[in-house]
Amino acid sequence: MNCNCPITGVIFGFAVLAYLLGAIPNGFLIAKAKGIDIRTVGSGNIGATNVYRSVSKALGILTFALDALKGAVPALLFPVLVTGCLNGEAPAWLPLLFGGLAIAGHTWPVYLKFKGGKGVATSAGALIGIAPGATGIGVLCWFVALVGTRYMSVASIAAAIVVPVAGWWLYREKGLALPLALGVLGLLIIWRHKGNIVRLMNGTESRFEFKKKSE
């Protein structure tokens, strides 16, 4: 369909929607439904790992899935909607724009006074639409690092390093915009883990438990 709207107006509208969707604090809302303010327990982070540890494993997995979905929808679906609305006139960089804004929304959510999560799950969802090859390599690295160290932070940081490297290898011939964006995203995720890095250096970082400990 063609909505006969100015291209800048359509893109701006979907850009705002991408941020607002990304800013939905799933972990906070899910924990709140259980009577828990996730910001006051565990690490204080609103992301899936803290929900997994402080509320329940099932709800932690649900939080991860929802956080990934709010990154994937803007990166995958919004460009299609814009293209349809503008009768095929949408720019090719829209997945990068919308996915990036969803990640920004999760990291700095307007609903929680711009204090959000670390962006790992939302980034993974967005990257499926932006850079699927590099994302696949990053997910494999994340899994290997998690199983090998049982530190979620180490797995996330490792993936944040590997995805940009894979991006340079896979996409450099198509231009520098995507590899550079992946590099910036990787640096952002590592920076958001600065507290975890300090705890790793001090030997106080919590390990990820795949099974409940015996009573």
The mean pLDDT value of the chain amounts to 90
**pLDDT (average), residues 205-210:** 82
- What is the pLDDT at residue 212? 52
The whole model's pTM is what? Answer: 0.82
Two tokens, residue 75: 């990166």
DSSP result, the chain: -B----HHHHHHHHHHHHHHHHT--HHHHHHHHTT--GGGSTT---SHHHHHHHT-HHHHHHHHHHHHHHHHHHHHHHHHHHHHHBTS---TTHHHHHHHHHHHHHHS-GGGTT-----HHHHHHHHHHH-HHHHHHHHHHHHHHHHHH--HHHHHHHHHHHHHHHHHHHHGGG-SHHHHHHHHHHHHHHHHTHHHHHHHHHT-PPPPPSSPPP-
- What is the pLDDT at residue 41? 94
Q: Tell me: pLDDT of 4 over 70.
A: no
Residue 35: band (very low, low, confident or very high) from pLDDT cuts 50, 70, 90: very high
Q: Tell me: pLDDT of 213 over 70.
A: no
Q: Tell me: pLDDT of 164 over 90.
A: yes
Domain ranges for the chain, please list them. 1-130, 133-215
pLDDT tens-place string over residues 63-93: 999 999 999 999 999 999 988 877 766 678 8
More confident position, 12 or 1: 12
Q: Tell me: pLDDT of 214 over 80.
A: no
- What is the pLDDT at residue 206? 86
**pLDDT (average), residues 144-168:** 94
**pLDDT (average), residues 178-193:** 92
